[in-house]
Chain A
Protein backbone atom coordinates (compact mmCIF):
# COMPACT_ATOMS: atom_id res chain seq x y z
CA UNK A 1 0.00 0.00 0.00
CA UNK A 2 1.37 3.37 -0.96
CA UNK A 3 0.33 5.93 1.62
CA UNK A 4 3.11 8.42 1.12
CA UNK A 5 2.27 11.32 -1.12
CA UNK A 6 5.91 12.07 -1.78
CA UNK A 7 5.85 10.27 -5.10
CA UNK A 8 2.83 12.09 -6.48
CA UNK A 9 1.68 15.70 -6.58
CA UNK A 10 1.36 17.25 -3.13
CA UNK A 11 -2.09 17.82 -1.67
CA UNK A 12 -1.62 21.57 -1.34
CA UNK A 13 -0.84 21.86 -5.03
CA UNK A 14 -3.87 19.76 -5.91
CA UNK A 15 -6.09 21.95 -3.75
CA UNK A 16 -4.74 25.14 -5.30
CA UNK A 17 -5.32 23.80 -8.81
CA UNK A 18 -8.86 22.76 -7.82
CA UNK A 19 -9.63 26.15 -6.27
CA UNK A 20 -8.28 28.07 -9.27
CA UNK A 21 -10.26 25.89 -11.70
CA UNK A 22 -13.44 26.29 -9.62
CA UNK A 23 -13.08 30.06 -9.43
CA UNK A 24 -12.54 30.19 -13.21
CA UNK A 25 -15.68 28.08 -13.68
CA UNK A 26 -17.74 30.23 -11.32
CA UNK A 27 -16.75 33.44 -13.10
CA UNK A 28 -17.06 31.84 -16.52
CA UNK A 29 -20.55 30.66 -15.69
CA UNK A 30 -21.57 33.96 -14.12
CA UNK A 31 -20.33 36.31 -16.80
CA UNK A 32 -21.13 34.44 -19.98
CA UNK A 33 -24.62 34.17 -21.36
CA UNK A 34 -26.68 32.06 -23.64
CA UNK A 35 -26.94 28.44 -24.68
CA UNK A 36 -23.39 27.88 -25.77
CA UNK A 37 -22.36 24.49 -27.09
CA UNK A 38 -20.28 23.83 -23.97
CA UNK A 39 -23.18 24.45 -21.64
CA UNK A 40 -25.62 22.36 -23.67
CA UNK A 41 -23.22 19.43 -23.91
CA UNK A 42 -22.39 19.61 -20.19
CA UNK A 43 -26.08 19.63 -19.39
CA UNK A 44 -26.63 16.71 -21.76
CA UNK A 45 -23.92 14.78 -19.94
CA UNK A 46 -25.94 14.58 -16.71
CA UNK A 47 -29.34 13.89 -18.36
CA UNK A 48 -29.08 10.09 -17.90
CA UNK A 49 -28.46 10.67 -14.19
CA UNK A 50 -31.60 12.82 -13.96
CA UNK A 51 -33.70 10.22 -15.77
CA UNK A 52 -32.30 7.52 -13.50
CA UNK A 53 -33.09 9.49 -10.34
CA UNK A 54 -36.63 9.98 -11.61
CA UNK A 55 -37.26 6.22 -11.88
CA UNK A 56 -38.36 5.60 -8.23
CA UNK A 57 -40.98 8.33 -8.46
CA UNK A 58 -42.29 6.92 -11.74
CA UNK A 59 -42.57 3.46 -10.19
CA UNK A 60 -44.57 4.84 -7.26
CA UNK A 61 -46.72 6.78 -9.67
CA UNK A 62 -47.48 3.74 -11.81
CA UNK A 63 -48.16 1.72 -8.65
CA UNK A 64 -50.57 4.31 -7.33
CA UNK A 65 -52.35 4.50 -10.68
CA UNK A 66 -52.77 0.75 -10.97
CA UNK A 67 -54.45 0.70 -7.54
CA UNK A 68 -57.33 2.86 -8.79
CA UNK A 69 -60.60 0.98 -8.81
CA UNK A 70 -62.82 0.65 -11.84
CA UNK A 71 -65.40 2.96 -10.22
CA UNK A 72 -62.87 5.67 -9.55
CA UNK A 73 -61.65 5.54 -13.13
CA UNK A 74 -65.17 5.66 -14.50
CA UNK A 75 -66.01 8.62 -12.27
CA UNK A 76 -62.91 10.45 -13.36
CA UNK A 77 -63.66 9.68 -16.97
CA UNK A 78 -67.17 11.10 -16.63
CA UNK A 79 -65.87 14.27 -14.99
CA UNK A 80 -63.30 14.76 -17.72
CA UNK A 81 -65.89 14.20 -20.44
CA UNK A 82 -68.17 16.82 -18.92
CA UNK A 83 -65.27 19.24 -18.65
CA UNK A 84 -64.32 18.61 -22.24
CA UNK A 85 -67.88 19.17 -23.42
CA UNK A 86 -68.02 22.52 -21.66
CA UNK A 87 -64.62 23.53 -22.98
CA UNK A 88 -65.37 22.48 -26.53
CA UNK A 89 -68.44 24.70 -26.42
CA UNK A 90 -66.18 27.59 -25.40
CA UNK A 91 -63.76 26.60 -28.12
CA UNK A 92 -66.44 26.94 -30.78
CA UNK A 93 -67.05 30.47 -29.56
CA UNK A 94 -63.30 31.09 -29.51
CA UNK A 95 -62.87 30.24 -33.16
CA UNK A 96 -65.59 32.71 -34.06
CA UNK A 97 -64.25 35.41 -31.72
CA UNK A 98 -60.73 34.92 -33.00
CA UNK A 99 -61.85 35.44 -36.56
CA UNK A 100 -63.86 38.49 -35.56
CA UNK A 101 -60.92 39.88 -33.63
CA UNK A 102 -58.66 39.37 -36.61
CA UNK A 103 -61.07 41.20 -38.89
CA UNK A 104 -61.49 44.07 -36.43
CA UNK A 105 -57.72 44.34 -36.07
CA UNK A 106 -57.41 44.38 -39.83
CA UNK A 107 -59.98 47.22 -39.96
CA UNK A 108 -57.98 49.15 -37.35
CA UNK A 109 -54.75 48.48 -39.27
CA UNK A 110 -53.32 46.91 -36.10
CA UNK A 111 -50.75 44.14 -36.37
CA UNK A 112 -52.14 40.62 -36.29
CA UNK A 113 -51.83 38.72 -33.01
CA UNK A 114 -49.25 35.99 -33.05
CA UNK A 115 -50.17 32.47 -32.19
CA UNK A 116 -47.62 30.19 -30.60
CA UNK A 117 -46.41 26.69 -31.21
CA UNK A 118 -46.94 24.54 -28.15
CA UNK A 119 -45.16 21.53 -26.75
CA UNK A 120 -46.20 19.51 -23.73
CA UNK A 121 -43.42 18.75 -21.26
CA UNK A 122 -43.40 16.65 -18.12
CA UNK A 123 -41.60 17.64 -14.95
CA UNK A 124 -38.98 15.13 -13.82
CA UNK A 125 -39.06 14.65 -10.07
CA UNK A 126 -35.49 15.41 -9.18
CA UNK A 127 -34.07 17.49 -6.37
CA UNK A 128 -32.67 20.86 -7.43
CA UNK A 129 -30.45 23.44 -5.84
CA UNK A 130 -32.24 24.46 -2.61
CA UNK A 131 -31.20 28.09 -3.07
CA UNK A 132 -33.09 28.67 -6.31
CA UNK A 133 -36.48 27.79 -7.75
CA UNK A 134 -36.24 25.56 -10.77
CA UNK A 135 -37.57 22.29 -12.16
CA UNK A 136 -36.29 19.84 -14.76
CA UNK A 137 -38.48 18.89 -17.74
CA UNK A 138 -38.13 16.00 -20.14
CA UNK A 139 -37.68 18.07 -23.31
CA UNK A 140 -34.53 19.35 -24.96
CA UNK A 141 -32.98 20.54 -28.16
CA UNK A 142 -34.10 17.39 -30.00
CA UNK A 143 -37.68 18.58 -29.48
CA UNK A 144 -36.69 21.90 -30.98
CA UNK A 145 -36.83 24.07 -27.86
CA UNK A 146 -34.33 26.80 -27.08
CA UNK A 147 -33.32 28.86 -24.10
CA UNK A 148 -35.65 31.66 -23.02
CA UNK A 149 -38.95 30.14 -24.15
CA UNK A 150 -41.96 30.78 -21.94
CA UNK A 151 -43.43 27.91 -19.92
CA UNK A 152 -47.03 27.85 -18.69
CA UNK A 153 -49.36 25.32 -17.07
CA UNK A 154 -53.15 24.99 -17.18
CA UNK A 155 -53.61 27.93 -14.79
CA UNK A 156 -51.00 30.48 -15.80
CA UNK A 157 -47.37 31.41 -16.32
CA UNK A 158 -44.78 29.16 -14.67
CA UNK A 159 -41.42 30.51 -15.81
CA UNK A 160 -38.95 30.26 -18.65
CA UNK A 161 -36.39 27.79 -19.94
CA UNK A 162 -33.03 28.58 -18.40
CA UNK A 163 -30.69 25.77 -19.49
CA UNK A 164 -31.37 23.44 -22.37
CA UNK A 165 -29.72 20.08 -22.88
CA UNK A 166 -30.36 17.52 -25.60
CA UNK A 167 -33.07 15.60 -23.76
CA UNK A 168 -33.67 17.54 -20.54
CA UNK A 169 -33.86 21.21 -19.68
CA UNK A 170 -34.28 23.44 -16.67
CA UNK A 171 -37.20 25.78 -16.13
CA UNK A 172 -36.50 28.82 -13.98
CA UNK A 173 -39.69 29.46 -12.01
CA UNK A 174 -40.96 33.03 -11.89
CA UNK A 175 -40.72 33.01 -8.09
CA UNK A 176 -36.93 32.69 -8.26
CA UNK A 177 -35.13 35.70 -6.90
CA UNK A 178 -33.36 36.32 -10.22
CA UNK A 179 -36.56 36.30 -12.30
CA UNK A 180 -38.77 39.23 -13.28
CA UNK A 181 -41.86 39.20 -15.49
CA UNK A 182 -43.31 42.20 -17.34
CA UNK A 183 -47.04 42.34 -16.54
CA UNK A 184 -50.04 44.62 -16.79
CA UNK A 185 -53.08 44.89 -14.55
CA UNK A 186 -56.02 43.37 -16.38
CA UNK A 187 -58.53 45.88 -14.94
CA UNK A 188 -56.88 49.10 -16.11
CA UNK A 189 -53.95 48.08 -18.36
CA UNK A 190 -51.28 49.67 -16.15
CA UNK A 191 -47.90 48.19 -17.02
CA UNK A 192 -45.44 47.12 -14.34
CA UNK A 193 -42.88 44.44 -13.55
CA UNK A 194 -43.32 41.62 -11.07
CA UNK A 195 -40.35 39.87 -9.54
CA UNK A 196 -39.70 36.77 -7.49
CA UNK A 197 -38.61 37.07 -3.88
CA UNK A 198 -37.59 33.46 -3.32
CA UNK A 199 -40.93 32.34 -1.85
CA UNK A 200 -42.95 29.81 -3.81
CA UNK A 201 -46.32 31.48 -3.12
CA UNK A 202 -45.44 35.15 -3.28
CA UNK A 203 -44.23 37.70 -5.84
CA UNK A 204 -43.54 41.40 -5.49
CA UNK A 205 -44.34 44.30 -7.80
CA UNK A 206 -41.21 46.38 -8.18
CA UNK A 207 -41.04 50.18 -8.08
CA UNK A 208 -44.74 50.86 -7.66
CA UNK A 209 -45.56 54.55 -6.99
CA UNK A 210 -47.93 55.20 -4.09
CA UNK A 211 -50.45 56.74 -6.47
CA UNK A 212 -50.74 53.66 -8.71
CA UNK A 213 -54.29 52.38 -9.09
CA UNK A 214 -53.93 48.82 -7.83
CA UNK A 215 -56.35 46.94 -5.59
CA UNK A 216 -56.37 43.65 -3.77
CA UNK A 217 -57.74 40.96 -6.10
CA UNK A 218 -56.43 42.58 -9.29
CA UNK A 219 -55.36 40.02 -11.88
CA UNK A 220 -51.96 40.55 -13.48
CA UNK A 221 -51.40 39.23 -16.99
CA UNK A 222 -48.25 39.18 -19.10
CA UNK A 223 -47.82 42.38 -21.06
CA UNK A 224 -45.81 40.90 -23.91
CA UNK A 225 -43.05 43.45 -23.40
CA UNK A 226 -39.56 42.06 -23.12
CA UNK A 227 -40.25 39.48 -25.79
CA UNK A 228 -40.12 36.36 -23.61
CA UNK A 229 -43.72 35.88 -22.51
CA UNK A 230 -46.51 36.24 -25.10
CA UNK A 231 -49.21 38.74 -24.19
CA UNK A 232 -52.24 37.92 -22.08
CA UNK A 233 -51.39 34.91 -19.93
CA UNK A 234 -52.44 35.20 -16.27
CA UNK A 235 -49.50 35.55 -13.89
CA UNK A 236 -50.64 36.47 -10.39
CA UNK A 237 -53.38 37.96 -8.22
CA UNK A 238 -52.64 40.90 -5.92
CA UNK A 239 -52.98 39.81 -2.28
CA UNK A 240 -51.38 42.46 -0.12
CA UNK A 241 -50.76 46.22 -0.51
CA UNK A 242 -48.80 48.32 1.95
CA UNK A 243 -48.89 52.03 1.14
CA UNK A 244 -46.46 53.23 3.80
CA UNK A 245 -45.65 56.83 2.82
CA UNK A 246 -42.34 56.57 4.65
CA UNK A 247 -41.03 54.16 2.02
CA UNK A 248 -40.09 55.32 -1.48
CA UNK A 249 -42.44 52.83 -3.17
CA UNK A 250 -45.64 51.03 -2.28
CA UNK A 251 -45.14 47.39 -1.28
CA UNK A 252 -47.44 45.28 -3.42
CA UNK A 253 -47.40 41.49 -3.11
CA UNK A 254 -49.16 39.01 -5.37
CA UNK A 255 -49.77 35.28 -5.38
CA UNK A 256 -48.97 33.24 -8.51
CA UNK A 257 -51.97 31.85 -10.36
CA UNK A 258 -50.17 28.62 -11.28
CA UNK A 259 -49.65 26.25 -8.38
CA UNK A 260 -45.90 26.19 -8.62
CA UNK A 261 -45.33 23.65 -5.86
CA UNK A 262 -47.36 20.94 -7.57
CA UNK A 263 -46.71 21.33 -11.29
CA UNK A 264 -46.52 18.12 -13.29
CA UNK A 265 -47.44 18.81 -16.92
CA UNK A 266 -46.30 22.03 -18.54
CA UNK A 267 -46.69 23.69 -21.92
CA UNK A 268 -43.62 25.19 -23.58
CA UNK A 269 -44.66 28.07 -25.82
CA UNK A 270 -42.74 28.44 -29.07
CA UNK A 271 -41.71 31.82 -30.31
CA UNK A 272 -42.02 32.08 -34.05
CA UNK A 273 -45.39 31.17 -35.45
CA UNK A 274 -46.10 34.31 -37.47
CA UNK A 275 -45.89 32.44 -40.78
CA UNK A 276 -48.63 29.99 -39.83
CA UNK A 277 -50.97 32.86 -39.03
CA UNK A 278 -50.30 34.79 -42.22
CA UNK A 279 -50.83 31.61 -44.23
CA UNK A 280 -54.34 30.92 -42.97
Chain B
Protein backbone atom coordinates (compact mmCIF):
# COMPACT_ATOMS: atom_id res chain seq x y z
CA UNK B 1 0.00 0.00 0.00
CA UNK B 2 2.77 2.42 0.97
CA UNK B 3 4.86 1.35 -2.00
CA UNK B 4 1.92 1.94 -4.31
CA UNK B 5 1.44 5.51 -3.10
CA UNK B 6 5.15 6.25 -3.58
CA UNK B 7 4.89 4.86 -7.09
CA UNK B 8 1.88 7.07 -7.86
CA UNK B 9 3.62 10.18 -6.55
CA UNK B 10 6.70 9.34 -8.62
CA UNK B 11 4.48 8.86 -11.68
CA UNK B 12 2.98 12.35 -11.31
CA UNK B 13 6.47 13.83 -10.90
CA UNK B 14 7.61 11.97 -14.01
CA UNK B 15 4.82 13.55 -16.04
CA UNK B 16 5.70 16.96 -14.62
CA UNK B 17 9.31 16.36 -15.70
CA UNK B 18 8.20 15.52 -19.22
CA UNK B 19 6.05 18.67 -19.28
CA UNK B 20 9.04 20.69 -18.10
CA UNK B 21 11.30 19.30 -20.83
CA UNK B 22 8.81 19.39 -23.70
CA UNK B 23 9.59 21.98 -26.38
CA UNK B 24 7.30 25.02 -26.52
CA UNK B 25 6.91 27.69 -29.21
CA UNK B 26 9.73 30.16 -28.72
CA UNK B 27 7.31 32.99 -27.83
CA UNK B 28 5.80 30.91 -25.00
CA UNK B 29 9.16 29.75 -23.65
CA UNK B 30 9.72 32.53 -21.06
CA UNK B 31 6.30 31.87 -19.51
CA UNK B 32 6.69 28.12 -18.91
CA UNK B 33 5.55 27.43 -15.31
CA UNK B 34 7.79 25.28 -13.09
CA UNK B 35 5.62 22.18 -13.35
CA UNK B 36 7.89 19.96 -11.29
CA UNK B 37 8.18 22.35 -8.38
CA UNK B 38 4.42 22.96 -8.36
CA UNK B 39 3.68 19.22 -8.27
CA UNK B 40 6.28 18.70 -5.53
CA UNK B 41 4.73 21.55 -3.54
CA UNK B 42 1.30 19.98 -3.82
CA UNK B 43 2.56 16.62 -2.53
CA UNK B 44 4.51 18.27 0.25
CA UNK B 45 1.32 19.99 1.41
CA UNK B 46 -0.92 16.94 0.98
CA UNK B 47 1.31 14.13 2.29
CA UNK B 48 4.15 15.93 4.12
CA UNK B 49 5.20 12.78 5.99
CA UNK B 50 5.93 11.04 2.69
CA UNK B 51 7.12 13.70 0.27
CA UNK B 52 9.53 16.20 1.72
CA UNK B 53 13.11 17.36 1.38
CA UNK B 54 14.58 14.03 0.25
CA UNK B 55 12.23 13.89 -2.74
CA UNK B 56 12.89 17.54 -3.51
CA UNK B 57 16.64 17.00 -3.51
CA UNK B 58 16.56 13.96 -5.79
CA UNK B 59 14.04 15.53 -8.19
CA UNK B 60 16.16 18.68 -8.30
CA UNK B 61 19.19 16.59 -9.24
CA UNK B 62 17.25 14.89 -12.05
CA UNK B 63 16.14 18.31 -13.34
CA UNK B 64 19.73 19.56 -13.22
CA UNK B 65 20.90 16.59 -15.25
CA UNK B 66 18.05 16.78 -17.75
CA UNK B 67 18.32 20.54 -18.31
CA UNK B 68 22.09 20.72 -18.28
CA UNK B 69 22.36 23.31 -15.54
CA UNK B 70 25.29 23.18 -13.09
CA UNK B 71 24.75 20.13 -10.87
CA UNK B 72 23.24 20.85 -7.47
CA UNK B 73 21.62 24.21 -8.23
CA UNK B 74 18.07 22.90 -8.54
CA UNK B 75 18.60 20.39 -5.72
CA UNK B 76 19.45 23.25 -3.38
CA UNK B 77 16.65 25.58 -4.46
CA UNK B 78 14.01 22.81 -4.48
CA UNK B 79 15.04 21.68 -1.00
CA UNK B 80 14.74 25.20 0.37
CA UNK B 81 11.30 25.77 -1.19
CA UNK B 82 9.95 22.40 -0.06
CA UNK B 83 11.33 23.03 3.42
CA UNK B 84 9.20 26.18 3.60
CA UNK B 85 6.02 24.46 2.40
CA UNK B 86 6.50 21.34 4.55
CA UNK B 87 7.23 23.27 7.72
CA UNK B 88 4.09 25.39 7.25
CA UNK B 89 1.78 22.83 5.70
CA UNK B 90 -0.88 23.12 8.39
CA UNK B 91 -1.18 26.88 7.95
CA UNK B 92 -1.10 26.77 4.16
CA UNK B 93 -3.76 24.05 3.99
CA UNK B 94 -6.24 26.34 5.77
CA UNK B 95 -6.10 29.06 3.15
CA UNK B 96 -8.53 29.23 0.24
CA UNK B 97 -7.19 28.14 -3.13
CA UNK B 98 -6.54 31.67 -4.41
CA UNK B 99 -4.80 32.72 -1.20
CA UNK B 100 -2.69 29.60 -1.54
CA UNK B 101 -1.92 30.58 -5.13
CA UNK B 102 -0.59 33.96 -4.02
CA UNK B 103 1.59 32.30 -1.37
CA UNK B 104 2.86 29.75 -3.88
CA UNK B 105 3.63 32.64 -6.22
CA UNK B 106 5.79 34.16 -3.48
CA UNK B 107 7.63 30.86 -2.96
CA UNK B 108 8.18 30.56 -6.70
CA UNK B 109 9.62 34.08 -6.75
CA UNK B 110 11.99 33.06 -3.98
CA UNK B 111 12.93 29.98 -6.02
CA UNK B 112 13.71 32.05 -9.10
CA UNK B 113 15.72 34.61 -7.16
CA UNK B 114 17.76 31.86 -5.50
CA UNK B 115 18.21 30.19 -8.87
CA UNK B 116 19.34 33.44 -10.43
CA UNK B 117 21.71 34.16 -7.57
CA UNK B 118 23.42 30.76 -7.80
CA UNK B 119 23.64 30.96 -11.58
CA UNK B 120 25.02 34.47 -11.29
CA UNK B 121 27.99 33.05 -9.39
CA UNK B 122 28.39 30.00 -11.60
CA UNK B 123 27.61 31.28 -15.10
CA UNK B 124 28.03 35.08 -14.90
CA UNK B 125 24.48 35.90 -15.95
CA UNK B 126 22.80 39.22 -15.28
CA UNK B 127 19.32 39.81 -13.95
CA UNK B 128 16.48 40.62 -16.26
CA UNK B 129 12.94 40.98 -14.90
CA UNK B 130 11.52 38.46 -17.36
CA UNK B 131 13.20 35.68 -15.36
CA UNK B 132 10.29 36.13 -12.95
CA UNK B 133 7.49 35.46 -15.46
CA UNK B 134 7.32 31.73 -14.57
CA UNK B 135 6.53 32.67 -10.97
CA UNK B 136 3.48 34.58 -12.17
CA UNK B 137 2.25 31.90 -14.59
CA UNK B 138 2.95 29.27 -11.92
CA UNK B 139 0.73 31.21 -9.53
CA UNK B 140 -2.08 31.20 -12.09
CA UNK B 141 -1.60 27.47 -12.69
CA UNK B 142 -1.64 26.51 -9.02
CA UNK B 143 -5.46 26.20 -8.55
CA UNK B 144 -5.76 23.87 -11.54
CA UNK B 145 -2.81 21.74 -10.48
CA UNK B 146 -4.20 21.65 -6.95
CA UNK B 147 -7.65 20.50 -8.10
CA UNK B 148 -6.26 17.98 -10.57
CA UNK B 149 -3.85 16.43 -8.11
CA UNK B 150 -6.44 16.39 -5.34
CA UNK B 151 -8.71 14.40 -7.63
CA UNK B 152 -5.77 12.09 -8.43
CA UNK B 153 -4.92 11.67 -4.74
CA UNK B 154 -8.51 10.91 -3.74
CA UNK B 155 -9.06 8.58 -6.65
CA UNK B 156 -6.05 6.44 -5.75
CA UNK B 157 -6.31 7.01 -1.97
CA UNK B 158 -2.75 8.22 -1.52
CA UNK B 159 -2.22 8.91 2.15
Interface residues, chain A, with chain B CB atoms under 8 Å away: 1-3, 5, 8, 11, 14-15, 18-19, 21-26, 28-30, 42-43, 45-46, 49-50, 52-53, 56-57, 125-132, 134, 136, 162-163, 170, 177-178, 198, 261
Determine whether the beta carbon of B72 is less than 8 Å from that of A129. Answer: no
With A30-B122, A177-B123 in contact, do A22 and B75 touch (Cβ < 8 Å)? yes
Sample of 7 further A-B pairs with CB below 8 A, known A46-B62, A56-B23, A131-B119: A14-B52, A30-B122, A49-B66, A53-B21, A53-B66, A128-B67, A129-B67
Contacts of A125 in B (CB 8 A): 23
Determine the distance from Cα of A52 to Cα of B23 in the docked complex, in whole angstroms: 12
**Cα separation A19 to B118 with both chains bound (whole Å):** 13
Question: Which residue of B has the minimal Cβ distance to A43?
Answer: B65
Stretch of B53-61, B97-105, B136-144, B149-157 lying at the A interface = B53-61
Q: Which of A24, A25, A126, A131 contacts B22 (CB 8 A)?
A: A126
Q: Which 6 A-B pairs have the closest CB atoms?
A: A25-B72, A22-B76, A53-B21, A18-B79, A26-B72, A29-B71
Interface residues on B, range: 35 or more
> In the assembled complex, how far is the CB of residue B9 from the closest CB belonging to chain A, in whole angstroms?
16
Chain B CB count within 10 A is highest, among A19, A42, A178, for A19
Bound CA–CA A50/B22 (angstroms): 9
- Residues from chain B with a CB closer than 8 A to the CB of A134 are 68
Instruction: Name B57's contact: one of A8, A21, A127, A128 (CB within 8 Å).
Output: A21
Nearest B-chain residue to A165, judged by Cβ: B65
Q: In whole angstroms, how far apart are the Cα atoms of A86 and B66 in the complex?
A: 42
Q: List 30 A-B contacts (CB under 8 A).
A: A1-B49, A11-B87, A14-B52, A14-B53, A14-B83, A15-B79, A18-B75, A25-B75, A26-B71, A26-B73, A26-B122, A28-B71, A30-B70, A45-B65, A50-B66, A53-B17, A53-B22, A53-B66, A56-B23, A57-B23, A127-B21, A127-B29, A127-B32, A130-B131, A131-B119, A136-B68, A177-B124, A177-B125, A178-B124, A198-B125
- From 22 to 81 in chain B, residues with beta carbon under 8 angstroms from any chain A beta carbon are 22-24, 26, 29-30, 32, 48-49, 52-54, 56-57, 60-62, 65-73, 75-76, 79-80
Within 8 Å by CB of B21, from A2, A42, A50, lies A50
Closest to B19 in A: A53
Indicate whether B159 reaches chain A with its CB closer than 8 angstroms.
Answer: yes
User: How many pairs of residues, A versus B, come closer than 8 Å at their CB atoms?
Assistant: 126
For residue B47, give the distance in angstroms from its CB to the closest CB of chain A: 9
- Asked if A178 and B159 sit within 8 Å, CB to CB, the answer is no
On whether the beta carbons of B71 and A49 are closer than 8 Å, the reply is no
User: Is there a chain A Cβ closer than 8 Å to B20's Cβ?
Assistant: yes
State whether the Cβ of B108 lies closer than 8 Å to any Cβ in chain A.
no
B residues in contact with A15, CB < 8 Å: 53, 79-80, 83
The residue in chain B whose Cβ has the minimal distance to the Cβ of A136 is: B68
Nearest opposing residue in chain B for A5, CB measure: B49
Query: Across the interface, which residues of B come within 8 angstroms of A52, CB to CB?
Result: 18
Whether A178 pairs with B22 at a CB distance below 8 angstroms is no
Q: B14 contacts which chain A residues (CB < 8 A)?
A: 49
Residues of B within 8 A of A23 (CB): 72, 76
Residue B135 CB within 8 A of the other chain: no
A136: chain B residues within 8 A (beta carbon): 68
Please, which residue of chain B has its CB at the minimum distance from the CB of A56?
Answer: B22
Contact of B72 with A22 in the complex, beta carbons under 8 Å: yes
Cα-based distance from A177 to B54 in the complex (angstroms): 33
Q: Which residue of A lies closest to B48 (CB)?
A: A3
Residues of A within 8 A of B70 (CB): 26, 29-30
Which residues of B lie under 8 Å from residue A26 when comparing CB positions?
70-73, 76, 118, 122
